[in-house]
């Protein structure tokens, strides 16, 4: 490339030389008339310039050839480098496409698995829908609906209380059979529970589209619940046998919420009749309270047993105290005897010491052997 640039510079120099030659020719032509000698000199210079121009042309041709050869070499190098880069790029693109294909295959496999899971979930939903339809069919029948409430009540009571604390389908002395009877101590006494499910009037209330239909459905729902409360109060509150209250179990939280939200007068009526309306949630809380009452009664019963045992233990402690007193008197008598024995032994020891203090002389005359009066010390000892 540098040679090529040098060739261009040579061409410019040649062009400049030609321009100079033209200028000189013009000058020579203008001054041809003045002097032939100047013309000859001018021709000589022109000849020299022509030779220089020829030399420049030769140099320019050489430079052009060298630049063309160098340019060809660089073009070949560029073509070789470009080919290598194209090969590398082709390999990279191929590897990337292969990896992308593998990832796409994995994603498609995961998508197939997820679609299979969605398909199974759809089948499960379809099954649940069918079950919901069957549950609706079951609840549409009053007897089946009553059995549904009784089973739910049994599950709640059985999960919260011990078997000895309740009885299902218990018959009272008035001949009425309660769904469940909680056996509580007096007070308050056994509590009867009856399951009720006013579904028809509740559904009519929920499906009402105008005010007139809604009002009629509300009246029907109000009348149904009031009738249930009245029946429970008359059947399952037996003085002397049960507590002065009973419970009505609603196996639906929605019915319970509707009753307490929009039918407060019915709830107050149940309070007056001492019939407590409970749902599954409040029933569990009530059963926990019942369990606490049973536990307290059991503790009171055990406290009576403990108190009786404590009384017996106090009697045993009293007898033990008497025996300890007798033993103490025996110990005191033994101490007194030991004290008396100690006094006697002390006296004996003292008498022995006094005897040891006496001196007898063997060399005394015969007359001295005559009995002498007893010393006062010995008489004192004998007297003692």
Which residue among 43, 71, 99 closes a domain? 71
203 within a domain of the structure (yes/no): yes
Q: Is residue 93 part of a domain?
A: no
* Residues 49 and 157 reside in one and the same domain: no
In which band, very low, low, confident or very high, does the pLDDT at 80 lie, cut at 50, 70 and 90?
confident
Residue 184 domain-assigned? yes
- How sure is the predictor about 127, in pLDDT bands with cuts at 50, 70 and 90? low
Q: Which of 280, 300, 320 delimits the end of a domain?
A: 300
Which residues, including other chains, have CB under 8 Å from residue 291's CB and lie 6 or more apart?
A: 160, 161, 165
Average pLDDT, the chain: 77
Same domain, 50 and 153: no
pLDDT(383) > 50? no
Q: Give yes or no: residues 154 and 41 share one domain.
A: no
Check whether residue 63 and residue 175 sit in a common domain.
no
Domain that holds residue 53: 1-71
For residue 133, tell me if it sits in a domain. no
pLDDT tens, position by position, 287-344? 888 888 777 777 776 666 777 777 788 888 888 888 888 888 888 888 888 888 888 8
Domain contains 354: no
Last residue of a domain, one of 300, 324, 359: 300
Residues 148 and 288 in one domain: yes
More confident residue, 317 or 192: 192
Confidence (pLDDT) at 25: 67
- Alpha-carbon dihedral 36, 41, 42, 43, rounded to 10 degrees: 90
Count how many domains the chain has.
Answer: 2
Q: Provide the pLDDT for residue 256.
A: 87
> Is there a single domain that holds both residue 159 and residue 286?
yes
Q: What is the pLDDT of residue 378?
A: 42
Look at residue 92 and tell me whether its pLDDT is greater than 70: yes
* 3-class SS of residue 198: coil
For position 379, what pLDDT does the model report?
A: 45
Position 153 in a domain? yes
* Peptide bond connecting 340 to the previous residue in cis, omega within 30 degrees of 0: no
**Residues 59, 193 within the same domain:** no
Q: The pTM is what?
A: 0.44
- Statement: residue 136 has pLDDT above 60: no
Is position 52 within any domain? yes
What confidence tens digit (pLDDT) does each residue in 153-164 have? 888 888 888 888
Residue 214 domain flag? yes
Q: What is the pLDDT of residue 370?
A: 46
The pLDDT value given to residue 102: 84
Residue 222 predicted with pLDDT over 70: yes
Asked if 31 and 164 sit in the same domain, the reply is no
The answer to whether the CB of 92 falls within 8 A of the CB of 100 is no
CATH at residue 184: 3.40.1350
């Amino acid at each position: 490339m540098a040679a090529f640039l040098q060739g261009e510079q040579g061409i410019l120099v040649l062009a400049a030389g030609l321009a100079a030659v033209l200028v000189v020719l013009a000058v020579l032509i203008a001054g041809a008339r003045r002097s032939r000698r100047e013309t000859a000199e001018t021709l000589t210079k022109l000849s020299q310039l022509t030779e220089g121009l020829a030399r420049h042309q030769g140099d320019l041709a050489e430079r052009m050839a060298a630049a063309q050869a160098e340019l060809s070499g660089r073009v070949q190098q560029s073509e070789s480098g470009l080919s290598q880069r194209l090969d590398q790029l082709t390999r990279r693109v191929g590897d990337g496409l292969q990896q992308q294909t593998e990832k796409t295959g994995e994603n498609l496999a995961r998508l197939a698995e997820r679609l299979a899971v969605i398909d199974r979930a759809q089948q499960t939903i379809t099954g649940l829908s069918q079950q919901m339809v069957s549950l609706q069919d079951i609840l549409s029948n009053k007897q089946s609906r009553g059995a549904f409430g009784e089973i739910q009540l049994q599950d709640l009571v059985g999960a919260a209380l011990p078997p000895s604390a309740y009885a299902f389908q218990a018959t009272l002395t008035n001949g009425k059979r309660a769904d469940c009877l909680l056996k509580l101590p007096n007070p308050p006494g056994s509590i009867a529970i009856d399951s009720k499910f006013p579904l028809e009037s509740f559904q009519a209330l929920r499906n009402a589209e105008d005010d007139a239909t809604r009002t009629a459905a509300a009246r029907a729902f109000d009348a149904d619940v009031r009738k249930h409360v009245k029946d429970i109060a008359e059947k399952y509150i037996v003085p002397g046998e049960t507590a002065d209250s009973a419970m009505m179990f609603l196996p639906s939280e929605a019915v319970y919420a509707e009753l307490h939200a929009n039918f407060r007068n019915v709830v107050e009526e149940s309070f007056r009749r001492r019939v407590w309306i409970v749902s599954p949630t409040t029933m569990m809380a009530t059963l926990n309270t019942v369990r606490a009452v049973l536990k307290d009664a059991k503790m009171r019963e055990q406290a009576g047993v403990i108190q009786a045992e404590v009384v017996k233990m106090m009697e045993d402690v009293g007898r033990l105290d008497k025996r300890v007193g007798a033993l103490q008197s025996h110990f005191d008598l033994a101490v007194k005897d030991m004290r008396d024995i100690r006094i006697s032994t002390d006296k004996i020891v003292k008498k022995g010491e006094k005897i040891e203090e006496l001196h007898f002389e063997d060399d005394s005359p015969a007359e001295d052997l005559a009995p002498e009066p007893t010393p006062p010390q010995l008489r004192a000892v004998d007297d003692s």
